[in-house]
Amino acid sequence: MKSFTLPMVALLASVLPTSWAQTHTACNPLNTTGCPNMEALGGNATFYWNKTGILTGGKIWEKQNQGTIDWSEDAKGATFTIERSGDSPMVQSKFYMLFGRFEVIMKAAKGKGIVSSAILQSEALDEVDWEFLGTNTTHVLTNYFGKGNTTSFDRGKEYGMAPPQDEFHNYTIDWTKDRIQWWLDGKMLRELVPADALNGKNYPQTPMNIRMGVWAGGDVANNDPGVVEWAGGETDFKEGPFTMAVQTIYAKDYTQGAEYSWEDMDSSGSWEKVKVINPTSKSEILKEIQDPSGIRNNWKALSAGAKSGIIIGALAVLGILVCLLIFCCIKQRRAGKREHAALLAGEQKEAAELQEYKKQMQGGKFGFGSHTNRV
């Protein structure tokens, strides 16, 4: 327990130079004014990373850091891979939840010093965690932080389980203002109530987003010896690549609204000071999830069969149009030719008639004409 509970935020705040720097907040609303509003989820959604891979054009999830995030049929999900020193691929949701539920079906990465994590975190540095060490095949760590307070007493707790690196498991966090529950495969492992978190002061209660990532705590080039030890020892990158896989994520925001704002926040950091913008409307993110914008996204979402159906249909319509056009042209040209021929025939007829007329006049067939001619 002692060595396993070194808090992530402590690493972020002080030790880790680059890899997890982004989990450090860009704007801490407790000591900064004008921190930007956060997009709310304001509803529920399932993300099938086993089917579609991951990043929906960056509109819902954002990749962070060096390292590969990919998708593979073999891995049955999105893969987060560490290949070399400095890799720590991570994605974070652009949406936030003010109390909510987060379920992830994932498989932790193997490897000495490799840490997989599935966390909720707020810009005020509230945090609720699942963490997995690559070489610990018997335990998972649950942890939480309130307002970035990293003083470690009994926040981190480990639970025995089958090797999290071998199979996919369902890790669920259910978070309300009254309690936080950690569930593993349908079994509740832990419940935290505000009274047990420094009388609520250390209780996570500001809008949090989802962050999934893997990093090398055992990377001696980037980490202090204490971190390397906590992570399970020095990482040998030649033994890599080290891959975490994520199949599906389900998220449900327990608050409805478009955005969350810090404008009424004070030093209490209380959820009651979080302002919900447009509490009756649907958030832009939820609209995007339910009805992805743009033809490109819709097209990408179609099955191969549907795509070829549409292509064949379009080609057929094009074919018909071309045929019609050709048909009309020919008809038009034929009609033109006929008209031209008729015109020509008419002219010839007229010319012939004139000729005949002249002949007749010259032949004195008409008295008057001949008379005149004679004059």
Question: Does the protein bind ligand NAG through residue 122 (CB under 6 A)?
Answer: no
Number of residues written out for the chain:
375
Query: Which residues fall within 8 angstroms of residue 87, CB to CB, at 6 or more apart?
Result: 65, 66, 67, 68, 81, 215, 216
CA distances from residue 264 to 30, 275, 278 in whole angstroms, order as listed: 11, 7, 15
Q: Do β-strands 38-40 and 95-96 pair in parallel, antiparallel, or remain unpaired?
A: parallel
Asked whether the beta carbons of 156 and 18 are under 8 A apart, the reply is no
Whether 272 is catalytic: no
Q: Check if 131 is active-site.
A: yes
Residue closer to ligand NAG by CB (options 83, 185) is 185
CB closer to ligand NAG, 22 vs 66: 22
How many residues of this chain bind ligand NAG (CB under 6 A)?
A: 33
- The yes or no reply on residue 181 touching ligand NAG (CB under 6 A) is no
Rule CB under 6 A: say whether 179 interacts with ligand NAG: no
Quick check: 205 binds ligand NAG (CB under 6 A)? no
Binding residue for ligand NAG, selected from 66, 149, 270, 281, defined by CB under 6 A: 149
CA 271/CA 53 separation, integer angstroms: 34
Q: Interacting stretch for ligand NAG, rule CB under 6 A, among 42-50, 219-227, 323-331, 333-341?
A: 42-50
Of 39, 123, 127, 259, which residue is the catalytic one? 127
The pair of structure tokens assigned to 372 is 């005149």
* CA dist., res. 49 & res. 79, Å (int): 9
**Phi, psi angle pair for 309, to nearest 5°:** -55, -45
| Least distance CB 85 / ligand NAG (angstroms) | 22
Binding residue for ligand NAG, selected from 18, 151, 348, 355, defined by CB under 6 A: 151
Residue 280 Cβ, how far from ligand NAG at the closest point, in Å? 15
Provide, rounded to whole angstroms, the least separation between the CB of residue 331 and ligand NAG: 53
Q: Does 43 bind ligand NAG (CB under 6 A)?
A: yes
Dist CA 66 CA 51 (whole Å): 24
Q: Which of 302, 133, 301, 157 is nearest to 229 (CA)?
A: 133
- In this chain, which stretch among 27-35, 308-316, 337-345, 361-369 interacts with ligand NAG, using CB under 6 A? 27-35
Contacts of residue 92, defined as CB under 8 A and 6 or more positions apart, other chains included, come to: 22, 61, 62, 64, 209, 210, 211, 212
Answer whether 119's CB lies under 8 Å from 141's CB. no
Catalytic positions, written as ranges: 127, 131
Please report, as ranges, the residues that interact with ligand NAG according to CB under 6 A.
Answer: 1, 4, 28, 31-32, 43-44, 48, 50-51, 76, 103, 105, 135-136, 138-139, 148-149, 151, 153, 158, 170, 172, 183, 186, 198, 201-202, 247-248, 250, 252
